């Protein structure tokens, strides 16, 4: 590598070969073999110019959300508040629920909170913000050619219905009506001004504007407001004049004619916006509330693009027109994140003065700034814009949880910006507001300022005072020394095996001790059940250190699928550039090789490997929408929903036919909880072109509901139609697998077995699980067990296979399989529930509850909360049963088993 520096990579594309001899050498000054150390590898590797991460500088990020020390208690408390609150006051409570549940990272759960908040929104402002927020979560703006006014066809997200006054929580899931500009309904003249109603009684008054006269009915103009009444009928000299000079009032002749028309009909003709703005100004000058309201409403209905919104919002704020401001804000919000840094958007939202101007028309709220700050944090946590929006969020905070959240998030952002003293100040204010977790922020700021011992004592105090959790020991490990540090890291994993930091830390320790292979094994543990870009990056670094470039490329390609703009080595290197460099040292694959590799990885249930192959195929053929779709399926399997939705949108953008786009739209809708709309898209697609994916989508969406015999027969028919359409083995195997599942539900076991065998013939390995189920239902547990063993032998991701195999063996063997499932994926809840049920059967009630409690502490799952509530009920501990039931219902208020248990325990607890 003569003279080649990776930091200067933009200056040259030539990469020279270098000595990659993996064998030990004999030193000229010694007869002993010299094995390469990690330091020597790093010093020679052109692909690790910044080295590997070091333990002394490695730390976990702070959680930006509200983090309760007793999450179950907090959920239960919030559920009680929701039960005791009138429906029209629930919107902000559901926003609080969103803030509390954010730490769980479940997109569907969070979307349900936002939907509930929108359902109970009373005022136009809240409807506008929440509709935009729901749209942002779907990122409709990334679809080429889409409009910010596009919606899913339901009132819930409709931008036009958001501008309508009124409260009707039952209507938000109804279909919205497509309509043009809203025409305000005719208003009746109020009783206070209804003193003249005819031209004869009122007489004519002439308003002169620059030598032109507008003839109006005196009584009708006077009826528009008290000031006009006083002017035309009171003690002013105008009351005696038939001609009144309005030249300097600020209204044109056309504008005055529009005033006259409105005074007569209480309706508008089709006026251009400039005339309507004149009417708005006139209404403000003379306090014409009906005219102002009508002008405001009509103007709001005309705003149709972002440029109009940018122009009109200043007029709207100056004239204090709340509906027009809301309409302009809606356009800006529905264009996020694309217009986040537009100067006009920043001017509208970011300064204290801007917030105060919005507040004068009722368009500044905690809700608004919570949405804006979340968008900004996601885009760039360290930006000045993020900081300013969080400062406005703090100014809007009124309730305790709002103050705690805004202070904590401000502290987190300032910590990232290395403003440690100011960050500490906000963390301390968050603690005062009751957010104990912010102690972590205080400790981190003290540590950054060289006060390690004080930081240690702060976290040590939390561990002593409260029930210890994994994040507490994780945090204390940063300030511990010697053996205590690794003990704390291990305790963090023991209490919360889902925390990524301990795995990464232990892996880095192993790298520093020249145990790179062991480090890869350690990082594999977390990647096995929680895939994230940082973990993939760390494993790729390790493979580069071992000069296993093929494996490194695999991880980096998978990383780029999750985050296309990811920068490696702490933001110092473009990830795609590193792929280019590494690719020069591996055997290139042809398109045929890629398809073979994809089939092999798909059949071995190697989702990360499959993602990497698809990424490579897309580099060569970026317009293949079907590959984007395959990508989305893999990402959903890996629980990477946000990345999956991005892949689906890109599939839509690259589609060349309408019927194909309809299928991808359908999947987007289905994955965001809009099943009926997804079915409609599938049917429309089939009407244009019979295709595998359209039939499959329709069958999948229908099968999601509880099926009776007639519905099952229809789903079977749809899947059979899908199989008749052209597709590849990867998808046909999935369709055969699903068809087998429907046959099993219909008790047609032989037909089901045939489907599974056909799926296995085209290497759909997951069909082993379905075939095992058939054997089990036929009473052949031995064959079922053997079938699952085949899946375990073939699959790289084995946790679900071990879990399923446990159903086909005796208790001891089942415990072994479930222990392995928990080891491979501690987030799977069935093993904990099974072990707890076994303990309960053995009358070891306390141990059964402890088994669930340990899991609930890091995975507060609905089923586990429900089971623990049932255990408490059987132990006659009704207060704890009630608490768990309330917490579970906060996660899903319609869960029937929990509702029944909740009703029983309420009666018994009184």
**Which of 669, 660, 668, 716 lies closest to 689 in space, CA to CA?**
660
Contacts (Cβ under 8 Å, ≥6 apart) of 459: 439, 440, 443, 472, 475, 476, 479
- By percentage, how much of the chain surpasses pLDDT 90? 75
Q: Kind of pairing, strands 204-209 and 212-217?
A: antiparallel
Band the pLDDT of 43: cuts 50, 70, 90: low
User: What is the pTM for the complete model shown?
Assistant: 0.90
pLDDT digits (tens, 9 = 90+) for 256-306: 999 999 999 888 888 889 999 999 999 999 999 999 999 999 999 899 889
Better pLDDT: 876 or 184:
876
What are the structural domains, with CATH classification, of the chain? 203-293 (3.30.710.10), 397-449 (no CATH), 821-909 (1.25.40.10)
pLDDT in tens, 848-875: 999 999 999 999 999 999 999 999 999 9
579 and 549 in contact (C-beta within 8 Å)?
no
- CA distance linking residue 628 with residue 633, whole number of Å: 9
DSSP 705: S
Spatial distance between the Cα atoms of 72 and 852, rounded to a whole number of angstroms: 13
Q: Which of 121-125, 187-191, 664-668 has the lowest mean pLDDT?
A: 187-191
Whole-angstrom Cα distance, residue 581 to residue 556?
12
pLDDT tens readout for residues 622-667: 888 999 999 999 999 999 999 999 999 999 999 999 999 999 999 9
What mean pLDDT is predicted for residues 337-345? 92
Both tokens of 432, joined, read 């005062």
Q: What is the pLDDT of residues 65-74, one digit of tens each?
A: 999 999 999 9
Under the banding of pLDDT at 50, 70 and 90, the label for residue 550 is very high
Q: Which residues, other chains included, contact 202 with Cβ-Cβ below 8 Å and sequence gap of 6+?
A: 196, 217, 218, 219, 220, 222
The pLDDT of residue 590 is above 80: yes
Specify the pLDDT at position 5.
32
Token pair for 419: 């403003």
Q: What is the pLDDT of residue 39?
A: 57
């Amino acid at each position: 590598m003569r003279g080649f520096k990776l930091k200067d990579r933009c200056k040259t594309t030539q990469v020279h070969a270098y000595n990659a001899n993996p064998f030990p050498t004999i030193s000229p000054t010694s007869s002993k073999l010299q094995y390469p150390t990690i330091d020597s590898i790093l010093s020679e590797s052109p692909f690790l110019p910044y080295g590997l991460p070091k333990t002394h500088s490695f730390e976990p990020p702070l959680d930006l959300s509200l983090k309760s020390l007793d999450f179950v208690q907090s959920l239960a408390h919030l559920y009680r508040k929701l039960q005791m609150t009138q429906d029209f006051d629930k919107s902000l409570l559901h926003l609080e629920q969103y803030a509390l549940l954010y730490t769980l990272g479940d997109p569907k759960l969070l979307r349900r909170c936002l939907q509930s908040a929108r359902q109970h929104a009373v005022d136009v402002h809240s409807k506008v913000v929440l509709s935009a927020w729901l749209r942002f979560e779907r990122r409709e703006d990334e679809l080429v050619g889409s409009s910010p006014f596009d919606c899913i066809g339901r009132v819930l997200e409709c931008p036009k219905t958001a501008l309508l006054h009124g409260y009707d929580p039952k209507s938000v899931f109804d279909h919205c009506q497509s309509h043009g500009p809203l025409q305000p309904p005719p208003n009746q003249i109020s009783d206070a001004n209804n003193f003249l109603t005819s031209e004869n009684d009122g007489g004519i008054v002439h308003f002169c504007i620059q030598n032109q006269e507008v003839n109006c009915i005196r009584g009708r103009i006077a009826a528009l407001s008290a000031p006009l009444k006083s002017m035309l009928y009171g003690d002013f000299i105008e009351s005696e004049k038939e001609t009144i000079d309005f030249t300097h009032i600020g209204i044109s002749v056309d504008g005055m004619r529009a005033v006259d028309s409105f005074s007569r009909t209480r309706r508008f003709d089709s006026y251009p916006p400039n005339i309507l703005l004149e009417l708005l100004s006139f209404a403000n000058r003379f306090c014409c509330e009906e005219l102002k309201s009508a002008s405001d409403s009509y103007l709001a209905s005309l705003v149709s693009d972002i440029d109009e919104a940018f122009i009109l919002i200043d007029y709207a704020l100056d004239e204090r027109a709340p509906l027009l401001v809301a309409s302009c804000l809606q356009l800006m919000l529905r264009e996020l994140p694309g217009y986040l840094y537009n100067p006009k958007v920043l001017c509208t939202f970011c300064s204290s003065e801007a917030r105060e101007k919005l507040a004068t028309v009722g368009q500044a709220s905690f809700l608004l700034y919570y949405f804006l700050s979340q968008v900004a944090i996601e885009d760039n946590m360290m930006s000045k814009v993020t900081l300013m929006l969080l400062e406005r969020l703090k100014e809007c905070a009124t309730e305790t949880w709002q103050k705690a959240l805004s202070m904590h998030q401000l502290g987190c952002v300032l910590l990232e910006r290395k403003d440690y003293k100011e960050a500490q100040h906000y963390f301390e204010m968050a603690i005062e507001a009751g957010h104990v977790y912010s102690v972590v922020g205080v400790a981190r700021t003290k540590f950054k300022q060289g006060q390690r011992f004080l930081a240690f004592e702060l976290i040590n105090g939390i561990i002593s005072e409260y029930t210890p959790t994994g994040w507490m020991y994780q945090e204390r490990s940063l300030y511990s020394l010697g053996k205590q540090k690794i003990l704390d890291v291990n305790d963090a994993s023991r209490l919360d095996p889902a925390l990524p930091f301990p795995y990464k830390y232990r892996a880095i320790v192993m790298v520093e001790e020249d145990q790179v292979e062991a480090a890869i094994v350690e990082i594999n543990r977390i990647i096995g059940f929680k895939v994230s870009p940082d973990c993939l990056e760390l494993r790729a670094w390790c493979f580069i250190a071992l000069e296993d470039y093929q494996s490194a490329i695999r991880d980096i390609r998978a990383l780029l699928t999750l985050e296309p703009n990811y920068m490696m080595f702490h933001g110092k290197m473009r990830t795609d550039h590193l792929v280019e460099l590494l690719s020069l040292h591996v055997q290139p694959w042809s398109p045929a090789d890629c398809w073979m590799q994809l089939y092999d990885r798909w059949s071995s249930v190697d989702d990360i490997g499959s993602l990497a192959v698809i990424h490579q195929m897309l580099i060569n053929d970026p317009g293949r929408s079907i590959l984007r779709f395959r990508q989305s399926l893999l990402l959903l399997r890996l629980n990477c929903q946000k990345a999956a939705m991005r892949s689906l949108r890109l599939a839509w953008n690259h589609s060349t036919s309408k019927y194909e786009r309809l299928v991808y739209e359908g999947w987007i809708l289905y994955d965001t909880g809009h099943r009926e709309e997804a079915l409609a898209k599938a049917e429309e697609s089939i009407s244009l072109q019979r295709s595998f994916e359209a039939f499959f989508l329709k069958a999948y969406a229908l099968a999601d509901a509880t099926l009776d015999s007639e519905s099952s027969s229809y789903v079977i028919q749809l899947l059979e139609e899908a199989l008749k359409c052209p597709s590849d083995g990867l998808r046909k195997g999935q369709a055969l697998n699903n068809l087998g599942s429907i046959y099993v539900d219909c008790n047609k076991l032989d037909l089901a077995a045939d489907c599974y065998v056909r799926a296995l013939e085209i290497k759909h390995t997951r069909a082993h699980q379905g075939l095992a189920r058939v054997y089990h239902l036929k009473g052949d547990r031995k064959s079922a067990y053997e079938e699952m063993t085949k899946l375990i032998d073939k699959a790289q991701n084995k946790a679900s296979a071990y879990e399923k195999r446990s159903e086909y063996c005796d208790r001891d063997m089942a415990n072994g399989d479930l222990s392995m499932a928990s080891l491979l994926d501690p987030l799977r809840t069935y093993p904990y529930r099974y072990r707890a049920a076994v303990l309960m059967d053995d009358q070891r009630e306390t141990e059964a509850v402890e088994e669930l409690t340990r899991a609930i502490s890091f995975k507060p799952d609905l089923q586990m909360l429900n089971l623990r509530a049932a255990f408490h009920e059987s132990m006659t501990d009704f207060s704890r049963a009630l608490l768990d039931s309330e917490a579970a219902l906060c996660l899903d208020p319609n869960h029937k088993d929990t509702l029944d248990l909740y009703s029983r325990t309420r009666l018994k607890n009184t």
